[in-house]
């Protein structure tokens, strides 16, 4: 019987192990969490996917959740390598990769490096790709100074920064008490504050990764879900150009959706995800938008 950790590397005298959960039967769906959370952030998706007959795998990125907290490896080549070890160790085939936020970068880089032999389709929810950093050839991106300010705030007072972050993550000023409770926000904060301080900081640099070449290797059915009120990863900088890059992708815009749509708009996200997963692998993907 497999233990719920997979060894991916070592640092000095210590092992680097990733915590994972593997439940259900059927086609595998691998859920890859966002920053600075863990696999527990998929709470509102896991039970629905299990009820629909899927095998559901969640895991905690290195430095986060129950996984080891090394001081190295917080780049997308390493993250993709970690994912590949999970896919290989669990012998996953015909899988769907579903990334949220930072986890969408793992999806893009994994498919670019390791190919699609084990993967049938991919979903990008509140995406980081194609390229978050503003540049001469990427005018809709985010100014580099924003990343500098985030790093400075984390170094100065990480717990306080996380409070502000989750207010914007869930658009608490608009959706608090309606689509997200104070307790749910606090739940996210507790997960995040327990993460590696080094990993939390270093991942900010990884956000500026250019995935545009990686996405050229994505030749499979793809789903993109993005809230049009996302304050963390604005749809104009990420979701829209991603849809334009991935020809034939199904694009779902959630009206009023914040960054954390997997919680605030879980019913809509789950509906779209199940519909996408249930489609024939040979079906034609078509764009779609609509209200929550």
Residue 282's pLDDT band (cuts 50, 70, 90)? very low
pLDDT (tens digit per residue) in 1-41: 455 999 999 999 999 999 999 999 999 999 999 999 999 99
Distance from C-alpha of 292 to C-alpha of 24, rounded to nearest angstrom: 28
CATH of domain 5-277: 3.40.50.1820
pLDDT at residue 159 greater than cutoff 60: yes
Residue 251: CB atoms within 10 Å: 21
- Catalytic positions, written as ranges: 101, 230, 259
pLDDT computed for residue 284 by the predictor: 39
Distance from C-alpha of 231 to C-alpha of 131, rounded to nearest angstrom: 16
Give me the residue spans of the domains in the chain.
5-277
pLDDT at residue 82 greater than cutoff 80: yes
pLDDT computed for residue 286 by the predictor: 43
pLDDT computed for residue 103 by the predictor: 98
pTM for this model (two decimals): 0.94
* Mean pLDDT, the chain, integer: 94
| DSSP-assigned letters across all residues of 128-171 | --SB-B-BTTBTTSB-HHHHHHHHHHHHHHHHHHHHHHHHHHTT
pLDDT (tens digit per residue) in 91-143: 999 999 999 999 999 999 999 999 999 999 999 999 999 999 999 999 999 99
Give start and end residues of each alpha helix (H) in 62-117.
Answer: 76-89, 103-114
pLDDT computed for residue 279 by the predictor: 83
């Amino acid at each position: 019987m497999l233990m719920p950790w997979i060894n991916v590397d070592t640092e000095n005298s210590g092992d680097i192990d990733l915590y994972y959960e593997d439940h259900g039967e059927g086609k595998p769906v691998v859920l890859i969490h966002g920053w600075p959370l863990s696999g527990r952030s998929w709470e509102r998706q896991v039970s629905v996917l299990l009820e629909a007959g899927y095998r559901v795998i969640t895991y905690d990125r290195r430095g986060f959740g129950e996984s080891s907290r090394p001081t190295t490896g917080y780049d997308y080549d390493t993250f993709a390598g970690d994912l590949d070890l999970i896919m290989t160790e669990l012998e996953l085939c015909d899988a769907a990769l579903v990334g949220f936020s930072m986890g969408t970068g793992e999806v893009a880089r994994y498919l670019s490096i390791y190919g699609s032999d084990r993967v049938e389709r991919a979903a990008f929810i509140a995406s980081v790709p194609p390229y978050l950093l503003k540049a001469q050839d990427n005018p809709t991106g985010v100014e580099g100074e924003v990343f500098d300010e985030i790093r400075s705030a984390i170094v100065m007072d990480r717990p306080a920064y996380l409070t502000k972050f989750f207010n914007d993550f869930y658009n608490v000023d608009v959706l608090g008490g309606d689509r997200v409770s104070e307790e749910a926000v606090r739940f996210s904060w507790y997960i995040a504050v327990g993460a590696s301080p080094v990993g939390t900081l270093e991942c900010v640099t990884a956000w500026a990764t250019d995935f545009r070449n990686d996405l050229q290797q994505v030749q499979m059915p793809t789903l993109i879900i993005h809230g049009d009120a996302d304050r963390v990863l604005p749809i104009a900088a990420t979701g829209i150009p991603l849809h334009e890059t991935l020809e034939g992708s199904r694009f779902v815009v959630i009206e009023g959706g914040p960054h954390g749509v997997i919680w605030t708009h879980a019913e809509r996200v789950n509906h779209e995800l199940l519909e996408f997963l249930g489609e024939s692998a040979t079906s034609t993907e078509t764009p779609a938008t609509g209200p929550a």
